[in-house]
Amino acid sequence: MKIEAAGASAAADVASYLRPGTLHLPVLPPLALYIHVPWCLRKCPYCDFNSHQRHGEIPEEDYLDALRADLESSLPLVWGRRVVSVFIGGGTPSLLSARAVDRLLSDVRALLPLEPDCEITLEANPGTFEAEKFASFRASGINRLSIGIQSFDDAKLAALGRVHDAAQARRAIEIAQRHFDDFNLDLMYALPGQTLPELQRDAGAALRIASPHLSLYQLTLEPNTVFARYPPALPDEDTAAAMHDWIEEATAAAGYSHYEVSAYARAGHACRHNLNYWSFGDYLGIGAGAASKLSFPHRIVRQTRLKQPDSYLRAAARREFIAESHEVARADLPFEFMLNALRLTAGFPLRWFTERTGLPLSAIDATVAAAEQRGLLVRDLESIWPTGLGLRFLSDLQALFLPRPASVR
């Protein structure tokens, strides 16, 4: 009877596998780990991340205990999978003590198998207090820093509500250069009152430093931020477009590859962690407010942790960190995939779509053809990639892949 029951169960599994509408992922994508540290010295007026201004000392020990419990409780979801990258973000993770970062990475290594060349990134602010810890971070195993410069102009930094000045930014970069072969400078453009010559001086300073990687983002007014409630005067669309065009030309002339909408890298220094996001890879997110996207043979699941640090810490005793969890609907997968993959300037191999969504290429063929006709996409027998026009109007291109009501199809 047991054999018959097992046979019936197997037959049901096969029937489920063959049933139209059932996902089947032939291979699981790479897996990354994201660790969120939610505290910062001061909430910036443009920031819509889950960050909370610090009042008093950070509860390091309690938070490290909670992170370990969070990771331990998540292990069944990723059992046996190796981690290709680790990213410690925030907030301001560099506010953690060097000892805390050392313990955090020790816990990660004890619980998860990391690839031998695993990229381990820590986001850092350029303030003097944080920069003095860079050498200790490197000794703990951090092999990549992402430094939130934002600007080298003191007036612009004040307008952005940053707590560091240009001198501190340059000092932090000098320290990073001594201890890290791989680091990123994070800058913004189209800042309040910024002119094209000011942008050229600002980004030009970053190019002269010759950082291995640059992230250059246009400032946008995100909902639920101070800037959204009290909008500053930003450059008009034509000026912002001229800034973008100058950045494109200047980074190329300086030897940088523009490999993603806002990312520029020297050869061999593209951010592997972010590439995994953009190629619709998997990531386990732990920490207050962290998000996860995890693939299984017949489903893809998204999760979000409790956002408030105090709530997250209280949840540690119960090991109940998840605020929301849902399976991604089959109809939503083309958009979710394209929302990420179309950010890559070189596009993506066609096989990624099937491997990472479980859907046939026929699911997107009509939409791809429509995007081609509008000059937003190009494809050949192996790849799909956005045109220059498609990158400029990326949101419009991505929106083409949104699920439509049955009556519209």
pLDDT band at 21 (very low <50, low <70, confident <90, very high): low
State whether 258 and 114 are in the same domain: yes
User: Which stretch of DSSP H or E encloses residue 35?
Assistant: strand 31-37
Whether 238 and 341 share a structural domain: no
Residue 12 has pLDDT above 70, yes or no: no
Residues 106 and 201 in one domain: yes
Shared-domain flag, residues 250 and 366: no
Contact between 286 and 33 under an 8 Å Cβ cutoff? The reply is: yes
Confidence of residue 324 (pLDDT cuts 50, 70, 90): very high
Q: Of 22, 81, 28, nearest to 330 (Cα)?
A: 22
Residue 335 shares a structural domain with residue 271: no
279 close to 348: Cβ distance less than 8 angstroms: yes
**Percentage of the chain exceeding pLDDT 70:** 93
Domain-embedded: residue 134:
yes
The CATH number of whichever domain residue 131 belongs to comes to 3.20.20.70
Domain limit, last residue, from 276, 304, 339: 276
pLDDT band with cut points at 50, 70 and 90 for residue 406:
low
Whole-angstrom Cα distance, residue 329 to residue 332? Answer: 5
How confident is the model over 326-341, as a mean pLDDT? Answer: 97
CA dist 372 and 366 (Å) reads: 10
Does residue 26 lie in a domain region? Answer: no
Are 344 and 221 contained in the same domain?
no
Q: In the beta sheet, which residues pair with residue 216?
A: 187
Model confidence at 22, pLDDT cuts 50, 70, 90, reads low
Task: Kindly report the average pLDDT of the chain as a whole number.
Answer: 92
Q: How far apart are CA 79 and CA 275, in angstroms?
A: 23
Tell me which H or E stretch contains 207.
helix 196-209
Other CB atoms within 10 A of residue 36 CB:
25
Q: Is residue 155 situated within a structural domain?
A: yes
**292 domain residue, yes or no:** no
Indicate if 373 and 260 belong to the same structural domain: no
- Alpha-carbon gap, residue 371 to 398, rounded angstroms: 10
Range of the domain at 202: 31-276
In terms of pLDDT, which residue wins out, 202 or 406? 202
How does pLDDT run across 165-191, given as a tens digit for each residue? Answer: 999 999 999 999 999 999 999 999 999
Domain count, the chain: 2
Q: Identify whether 308 is part of a domain.
A: no
Asked whether residue 271 falls in the same domain as residue 335, the answer is no
**Token reading at 216:** 């250059």
Residue 240 and residue 167 in one domain: yes
Q: Is residue 112 part of a domain?
A: yes
Task: Check whether residue 244 and residue 338 sit in a common domain.
Answer: no
| CA dist list (Å): 135 to 41, 61, 168, 172, 226 | 21, 22, 16, 11, 35
Check residue 299 and give its pLDDT: 95
Residue 112 contacts residue 71 (beta carbons within 8 Å): yes
Tokens of 176: 């990073």
Tens digit of each residue's pLDDT (9 = 90 or more) over 271-314: 999 999 999 999 999 999 999 999 999 999 999 999 999 999 99
Decide if 267 is inside a domain: yes
Question: Which of these three, 231, 249, 276, is where a domain ends?
Answer: 276
Q: Look up the CATH number of the domain holding residue 362.
A: 1.10.10.10
Is 348 found in the same domain as 271? no
Coil, strand or helix at 171: helix
Residue-wise pLDDT tens digits, 94-148 = 999 999 999 999 999 999 999 999 999 999 999 877 888 999 999 999 999 999 9
| Contact present, 163 and 155 (Cβ < 8 Å) | no
